[in-house]
Structure 1
């Protein structure tokens, strides 16, 4: 028998219950539950006995995250794309809110709502009928902000009133007092609304309307020229103000055998600035062109429109045959008025522009087709075709340009002509795959591509490719894939004089000796037009030696050999090795290790020579002019290496506490092996290495107060250092006739900490 309670104890308990009505209610509910359990022997099976770690992960469809973060230092590497580039506090906010009933559903979402890299969206629809959507995507890119400039303004860049001009940057005696920093940031805000509607069981309609606004400051180079070989240049801050509007409409049909989609796309690009003007910081030109009166003008990207129609279809003849066709036609147009030959009104212009605008039009047609065929149960065949035709529509006109806004209009012989660059690309390929024993499969593909170009150094290139791939899984714990590839591109006779004749006036061509009629040296091959042999190897391995372990490794090697090239890119080689290791020592702990090594090597050769009589590239008897003298060749070997190491861990330390950590280390090194010929005047100064090192540590803890409420704490440590000869010690005036921004090497060490509350609901 149980012991009866004492009268005093009963009185104290009664007083406590009366003083705490909430507790009384809970006890009453507990009593009702106990009675129910006594009546239903299966009631314990209905209790939720899952751990909290499971419930907060999967039981809730909606959540809200609110918090605050803090960045310890200004930076541009750590915050290049994530919006965490400024010292100080930032707001943190994420949202996912879903709802539905028998007739409709809806969703609101947002990430990084307190940052300039936020994304948000909304959807509402009726199942099987229609859906309306809205999306917003804000992006921000920050770049090296250590550069400085003496220029101020946006469309017109001016120098300070006390500026002192000179014929070279060394004479800008008031330069340091005139320099000021500026933010090199580009923001891209994109907004879109969409509609998807199911018109019937077979027909559906979709429409999307988008608008993008790109704002910020970039940089561009501009120069004044007394002649084509004597430029006085400056790196200028360039204001960016682009707007793009686009619209697309698609109608789709889905039948038993045929799926068909027809669409139309329209895009309109608007550049708010047509011309960038800047004040000439140099003297030494004629008075009206030198500082302070002289100005330069640089045309900006023109407004343009695009119309594109597309038809995509898939037809299944039977289970063994299927055809897919994807064709499109696009027309791009721009008719923005040309700027005048020069912004300096004192320069003499004898002949106006040939036309007021380019009135240009580019038509592009693309056709992709695939035919699938299964002749045998284990054999699959696929034939592919890709065709592309680009045609430039416009008149060929001559322009008597003004060299760099620094001299009067060029002589008639110096007229230059716009050229059209039509091209076509056709590629055929056939792939076969066959299932073999040992759970393996073999693929073999042959491809042939032919490209034809107009007004290019090579009219036609032809390329044959062969790819072999083999995948095998000899054991349940091991699978591996090996791929071998070979490609051979052959080019027509290299016409080094093609661009020269297409661009220049006949009067100048006839006045130039035949041995000097070229723009690029006759032995110099453009790498995308040159003969090339490519060999490639890829190997991927996945291994699970035990239930708690998994290992993967991948290897890539590729070599491009430009075996017919004398001057230009002669060889390049890429190698990449990556390893990942995962270990699950317990149900609540996972550890990971990853490492990779990348290496890129290249060899290129050039020749140093001057113009005039030294430009004769065809002499074979001494004394050789510079352009014909192989002793004036120089060779550069580039060796770029990148090493990455990383560790990560996820630990469910308890039912209410989860922890995670990730550390990564990245080191890069770029080495240059420079060698020059024995001719006098050829610089043999070697180039130093360029290096960088990065450490990044992320720690995160989440304390789950309840299955629908958590506290989160995040910490990051970032350290980045750079040793780059192109920036080290280089000031705005280090180059005699180039006024640069004088950027400094990156050297960042910072901390970030963030804390937030996460609330979840059904």
Structure 2
């Protein structure tokens, strides 16, 4: 039986160096305009190693599996004609060459006149393995095996059990290219242009849904092929005078998706409310991935400084976002398509959003002990997209109903937002050991088609920093803010996106309960405090302490997020002796708590009775904690010819949720989630000659986790959704490396 094949990358011999996070950066980055007295600069490092695990989670990016690997880092530059009047130069920089993730950059120019540079980068994302019953996608979409047994739920599907399923890998590869040019012009003018090209290929999970209501929806998580292309071009013309600086800019961004359609065969059949043709084997689903889009922006920025007592900075930018990807038809089902009586109102969304960003800042230091600033910022996104009526066909599963009271009559709502912020800050520093700061900020936000049309937030800030002698320094920062706004209308979007005739048939005229509040719109009181101190009893020893707390109170939210609190405390110690010993350590604890309230109700005739029934209330308390410790030691021997270093870190996080509910609801306890991460890094750096070093490294990373959202959840665990069956990570990996480093 054929299956979706693993995504295969171009064969590589090496595992990416960045998959080993304990590797230390060794070479100094070559500058675009090298300075200093040396006419040449070169650094090269050649590394060989062995990774004892092929688990992709050992680091940020995927490699080619466990085993031997090799990598090359190189920095090279040359000043051809060094001198006071400038110099011609070139540079070459390479990172992780030979590995799955690597970077190569080259450039050159003449200092003070022009420069040109180019960069190529390849990024490999982590690879996740899953299982699916779907076959390789063809021209008509992803199909199921010919002998597939469909059912109303996954319980009736014997094909969802191993070894009937095929393995599929989800991963992606990004390739980035950049070219930049810059030229100096007469009278302090400069023009610069930069072009970026990024492509992304691979696979990721996509939730394909068939169904028209919350009760008859069925879904399968299928592998979506990725073929994205993003192009960006930036051009700026700038002037840099003694008192006046100006910049005129243009930005263009274009996104293209190589796949405009995603199709799959429906694995379910016989679901109540579906048209007969929607079921397996004739039923198919169709969705549109991210559409092609374009963004263009013109900007003007300037700064003027008359003296230290007064400076002015201003920015103004106008942009436009557009999206005109052709619509897919209402349905892929030919039987349902033949019965359509009201077609699409337009061929594409023809979406358009005009953006305006303005920023003005006045600041000054009229006295050596006093500073001040005042800022105004406008961020406006005016959605010009037309609002039309669409008689939708839900999830390729129902006949079109174009009657006046049909719930399929929907209007798209062009959401927009306008945010204005006014702030003022002042500071007073009478001595080097004392600094006081005060701040005020007011933000006004206006939204279209939102549950709250406008909101206002006022914030006050206070900061105090002081030094007591040479041994102690500390301070405190306190913030307080209050957000409120216009009358909260929770069903505004529901009323605006449906026909009036349909709204009159809905008991109560709401989709969510009127008391429910979205936390980013709800009234909120926020209190933040941060305390910090540094103790330096000797020149070799430094101790740092820090405590922070953020408390949010959603004072008028009966349903939704009601309270949240985040507390963290940390301790850091550094010690460096004259004999070459160096030690450091840290410990930190963070606590997170969130309280939310909800209510469960159904539709139909019991809608209003259940919505008012207090026995259908539920409450959830989330309590999470993260503890981390780490320490390291280093030592130089034989007059610096041998450097030894060891670092260890351990992080443990836990999460618990306590859910209670009224008598009409049934709830059960949720298991605690736990994650543990340990890392050990060892390094020996041996100077063989003045410009040659031998480096030996060992790294270990161990990760253990238990998460009820993944553990034991197979493709058929949920009745109405076919999953890929990923599991929470659990691994240990070791790496041994040896490298030679030359500097000349």
* TM-score when normalising by structure 1: 0.88
Partner residue, 1:308: 297
Distance 1:70 1:224 in 2: 47
Distance 1:183 1:530 in 2: 41
Per-residue deviation, residues 631-683 of structure 1 (Å, max 9, x unmatched): 211110111111111111222233432221111101010011111112x2x02
Q: Indicate which of 210, 214, 224 corresponds to 2:196.
A: 210
Distance 2:743 2:57 in 1: 34
Distance 1:756 1:535 in 2: 51
* 1:133 paired to 2:122: no
Kept in 2: contact 1:78–1:84 (CA 8 A): no
Partner residue, 1:741: 724
The DSSP-based 3-state class of the residue aligned with 2:591 is strand
Partner residue, 2:658: 673
Distance 2:247 2:420 in 1: 24
Distance 2:721 2:655 in 1: 25
Per-residue deviation, residues 248-276 of structure 1 (Å, max 9, x unmatched): 11000111211000100111100001111
Partner residue, 1:257: 243
* 1:362 paired to 2:353: yes
Partner residue, 2:323: 334
Distance 1:575 1:743 in 2: 32
Distance 2:532 2:125 in 1: 34
The DSSP-based 3-state class of the residue aligned with 2:125 is strand
Map 1:176-195 → 2, pairs under 5 A: 176=161, 177-195=163-181
Partner residue, 1:47: none
Distance 2:124 2:70 in 1: 16
Distance 2:717 2:483 in 1: 43
The DSSP-based 3-state class of the residue aligned with 2:277 is coil
Partner residue, 1:498: 492
Distance 2:172 2:733 in 1: 23
Map 1:156-195 → 2, pairs under 5 A: 156-176=141-161, 177-195=163-181
Q: Indicate which of 703, 710, 715 corresponds to 1:720.
A: 703
Q: Indicate which of 416, 439, 447 corresponds to 1:445.
A: 439
Q: 1:214 to 1:162 in 2, by over 3 A?
A: same
Partner residue, 1:570: 562
Per-residue deviation, residues 334-385 of structure 1 (Å, max 9, x unmatched): 1110001111112132221110001111111011111013333311110011
Partner residue, 2:7: none
Q: Which moved more, 1:481-490 or 1:372-381?
A: 372-381
Kept in 1: contact 2:308–2:366 (CA 8 A): no
Q: 1:370 to 1:173 in 2, by over 3 A?
A: same
Q: Which moved more, 1:297-306 or 1:404-413?
A: 404-413
Q: Indicate which of 401, 404, 410 corresponds to 2:395.
A: 404
Kept in 1: contact 2:275–2:399 (CA 8 A): no
The DSSP-based 3-state class of the residue aligned with 1:631 is helix
Aligned-pair CA distance for 1:755 = 1.5
Partner residue, 1:634: 618
Distance 1:203 1:587 in 2: 53
Q: Indicate which of 260, 280, 297 corresponds to 1:291.
A: 280
Distance 1:148 1:402 in 2: 30
Q: 1:438 to 1:191 in 2, by over 3 A?
A: closer
Per-residue deviation, residues 198-235 of structure 1 (Å, max 9, x unmatched): 11241111100110011111112121115343211111
Per-residue deviation, residues 14-51 of structure 1 (Å, max 9, x unmatched): xxxxxxxxxxxxxxxxxxxxxxxxxxxxxxxxxxxxxx
Unaligned residue ranges in structure 2 (runs of 5+)? 1-25, 29-35, 82-86
Distance 1:370 1:317 in 2: 14
Map 1:445-464 → 2, pairs under 5 A: 445-464=439-458
Q: Indicate which of 506, 529, 539 corresponds to 1:512.
A: 506
Partner residue, 2:365: 374
* 1:98 paired to 2:61: no
Distance 1:275 1:571 in 2: 43
Q: 1:454 to 1:708 in 2, by over 3 A?
A: same
* 1:88 paired to 2:67: yes
Partner residue, 2:15: none
Distance 2:63 2:582 in 1: 29
Aligned-pair CA distance for 1:85 = 6.7
Distance 1:497 1:449 in 2: 25
Distance 1:612 1:755 in 2: 70
The DSSP-based 3-state class of the residue aligned with 1:540 is strand
Larger CA Rg, structure 1 vs 2: 1
Q: 1:588 to 1:154 in 2, by over 3 A?
A: farther
Distance 1:750 1:373 in 2: 55
Aligned-pair CA distance for 1:437 = 4.1
Kept in 2: contact 1:215–1:242 (CA 8 A): yes
Partner residue, 1:274: 260
Kept in 1: contact 2:442–2:456 (CA 8 A): yes
* 1:78 paired to 2:72: no
Kept in 1: contact 2:342–2:402 (CA 8 A): no
Unaligned residue ranges in structure 1 (runs of 5+)? 1-52, 617-624
Structure 1 runs (4+) deviating above 4 angstroms are none
Q: 1:376 to 1:312 in 2, by over 3 A?
A: same
Aligned-pair CA distance for 1:587 = 4.0
Partner residue, 2:21: none
Map 1:630-669 → 2, pairs under 5 A: 630-654=614-638, 655-669=640-654
Aligned-pair CA distance for 1:741 = 1.2
The DSSP-based 3-state class of the residue aligned with 1:663 is strand
Kept in 1: contact 2:129–2:170 (CA 8 A): no
Kept in 2: contact 1:666–1:694 (CA 8 A): yes
Distance 2:142 2:702 in 1: 36
Partner residue, 1:8: none
Partner residue, 1:26: none
Distance 1:84 1:597 in 2: 33
Aligned-pair CA distance for 1:408 = 1.6
The DSSP-based 3-state class of the residue aligned with 2:502 is helix
Q: 1:63 to 1:438 in 2, by over 3 A?
A: closer
* TM-score when normalising by structure 2: 0.90
Aligned-pair CA distance for 1:409 = 1.6
Q: 1:226 to 1:530 in 2, by over 3 A?
A: closer
Map 1:29-108 → 2, pairs under 5 A: 61-79=41-59, 81-84=60-63, 86-102=65-81, 103-108=87-92
* 1:474 paired to 2:468: yes
Partner residue, 1:559: 551
Kept in 2: contact 1:69–1:755 (CA 8 A): yes
Distance 2:132 2:610 in 1: 39
Count of aligned positions: 694
Per-residue deviation, residues 609-644 of structure 1 (Å, max 9, x unmatched): 11123322xxxxxxxx11111221111011111111
Partner residue, 1:113: 97
Kept in 1: contact 2:254–2:294 (CA 8 A): yes
Partner residue, 1:419: 413
Q: 1:84 to 1:698 in 2, by over 3 A?
A: farther
Distance 1:214 1:226 in 2: 33
Partner residue, 1:38: none
Map 1:346-361 → 2, pairs under 5 A: 346-347=335-336, 348-361=339-352
* 1:151 paired to 2:137: no
The DSSP-based 3-state class of the residue aligned with 1:184 is strand
* 1:612 paired to 2:604: yes
Partner residue, 1:247: 233
Partner residue, 1:593: 585
Distance 1:509 1:245 in 2: 44
Distance 2:475 2:729 in 1: 40
The DSSP-based 3-state class of the residue aligned with 1:183 is strand
Aligned-pair CA distance for 1:574 = 0.7
Flag the structure with higher helix content. 1
Partner residue, 2:424: 430
The DSSP-based 3-state class of the residue aligned with 2:495 is helix
Distance 1:362 1:671 in 2: 42
The DSSP-based 3-state class of the residue aligned with 2:329 is coil
Partner residue, 1:621: none
The DSSP-based 3-state class of the residue aligned with 2:97 is coil
Map 1:18-29 → 2, pairs under 5 A: none
Aligned-pair CA distance for 1:74 = 2.1
Q: Indicate which of 377, 385, 391 corresponds to 2:376.
A: 385
Aligned-pair CA distance for 1:181 = 2.0
Kept in 2: contact 1:712–1:756 (CA 8 A): yes
